[in-house]
Structures are given as structure tokens and as C-alpha cells.
Structure 1
Amino acid sequence: MDEKAFEIFKLVSEGYCCSQIMLKLALDMEESKNDDLLRVVRGLCNGIGGSQKTCGVLTGGIGIFGLYAAKGKAGEWNKENYGRMVSEYMQWFEERFESSECEDIIGVYEFQGENNQSYPVKCGDVLLESFEKVIEILQENGYIFGNRE
């Protein structure tokens, strides 16, 4: 098992969901913490709000682009390439996994309670591949992944 796959497995076993894992991986690479951000994206878990609709890997990846290029405070604006990166990732994601919805990607699946989430192996593969794609898109747009300053 490679290092990033092991990291994902560890985060799943600690109870993080897909959207949280995507952002936690990014924060960990920066050697930074943002517990509030991870709490906020908890609502995107299990296919946005537990509905098995929009996949948390997709929304988590979009969140990473936001960390690098979205408006964050007064007097600041989205960077010019923010929308383009989000669109590219969404298009890639839907083509690669043939949907943007959790239930389509992993099949009909019952999530096991708030504190005992068990994700199928397929989520790990989607997380790993998508995280690598986010890094690729950021680098193609001139960002140094792991350094937002």
C-alpha cells in the first residue's frame, strides 16, 4: 500500500468522511490545521448531507481549489483561474467516474451511523485518484501545492 493510500485508510478509520479527507490531506501537506474547516465540510459527507447525492470527493476537491484561489476576505476576489480549475475538475470527475453522485459511484450503500462510518474500498480509490488530479490541476495553473502563500 503506498503512503497516500495508507494515509487515506488511516483518516477513514479515524472517522473522517470523503470531503473532510480531501481537505485534511491538503492541510497536512501544508503542515497546517483548520479544525473549523473540517467541521464545516462535515455537512458534505455521505453524498452531501447524507443524501448520497453530490460526492464528497468532488466537493472536497473543489474546496481545495477554494483554499488556493477563492475569495476569503473583504477586498479580496477569486483569482482569475478559480472557476476554470473548478470546471476542469468537475468535468474530469464526471467523465472518470461516470457521475458526480455518491450513490452512482459506489452503488446503493447504507452508511453506518455518524460515528461508525464504513466506506467501501472504491471510495479510497476515488479519493486517491481525485486528490492527485487536484494537485495536477493546481500545478498546471501555477500553484505550488502545499504552499498557499
Structure 2
Amino acid sequence: MTETFFQLMELSQAGFYCSQILLIIGLEAQGKENPDLVRAMSGLNGGLGFCGKTCGALTGGACLIGLYAGKGTAEEMEDSRLNDMIRELVGWFEQENLPRFGSINCHDILEGNPANRMSRCPQLVMQTLDKVRDILAANGYSL
């Protein structure tokens, strides 16, 4: 178990969900806190407002890539590789999870049982974080 995994579990026990956890870890790596951003990420919880749609680990991972490579002010330019990085993440996520769960939707990953959250989500978030780190590193970013 890594220090990051323990941090992930602590954040989960504090009531944060997959997408929020990924952004909190990414912000901390930048030496930042942003409660407004973390609060906004709650719209992705449980597969978009607990609708069971796209997994929050995937959507949170895409947002984490955007935190590093996206446009944040009128003066900034988005990294031209941003969408390619997100496509790589989505392709990887589908390749890893479609065979296991038949879907990338939260409801299907949890097999319709919220109790499966603690046995499945931490691993998915950790794997997604590792993949995001790899993608960012390959493009000159350090998480």
C-alpha cells in the first residue's frame, strides 16, 4: 500500500468521491487547495450526479489532465495535446474495464450495488491516477 492509496482512502472516508479525490490529489501536487473546484467536481459523483453514468474515476481523470494542460485564463493557451491525452486515458480505461464490467458506467461497475463502492472504487481511482501520471509525464508534466 502506498502513501497515495492511504490518502485516497482517507479522502473517501471524509466523504469525497472518485472525481473529487483525483482533483484533490492533483491540486496538492501543485501545492494548491481549491474548495470551489472540488465542490464543482461533485457534479461528477456517482456517474454524473449519482445517475450511474460514466465512472467518476474516468471523468475525474480527464479533469485532472485538464487541470495541468487546459486553458484557465483568457491569456493562457490550452496545450495542443490535451484532447489526445484525454483520448488516451479514455481508450486505456475502456480497454481495462469493458472486459471486467461490460461498461464504463458507475452503475454497471458497481453492479447496481453501492456497497461495492469500497471494494472497487479505490482500485479504479488508483489505477486511473497512475495512468494520468504516465500520460502527463509523457507530455512533459509532473504530477
Q: Does the alignment reach a TM-score above 0.5? A: yes
Report whether the alignment pairs 1:105 with 2:105: no
Name whichever structure is richer in helix by fraction.
2
Aligned residue for 1:142?
140
Superposed CA offset, 1:116-147 (max 9, x none): xx8322100001111000000000011122xx
Deviation at 1:110, TM superposition (A): 3.6
**2:67 aligned with 1:67:** yes
Contact 1:69 1:78 in 2 (8 A): yes
The aligned runs of 1:73-88 (5 Å cut-off) are 73-88=73-88
Structure 2 unmatched ranges of 5 or more: none
Match of 2:46 in 1: 46
The aligned residue for residue 90 of structure 2 is: 90
RMSD across aligned positions (CA): 1.5
Greater mean deviation of Cα atoms: 93-102 or 38-47: 93-102
1:36 maps to 36
Q: When the two structures are superposed, what TM-score results if normalisation uses the length of structure 1?
A: 0.87
Amino acid at match of 1:44: L
1:106–1:120 Cα contact (<8 Å) kept: no
Q: Helix, strand or coil for the counterpart of 1:119?
A: helix
Tell which deviates more after alignment, 101-110 or 36-45.
101-110
TM-score by length of 2: 0.91
Aligned residue pairs: how many? 139
Letter in 1 for 2:91: Q
Matched AA of 2:130: E
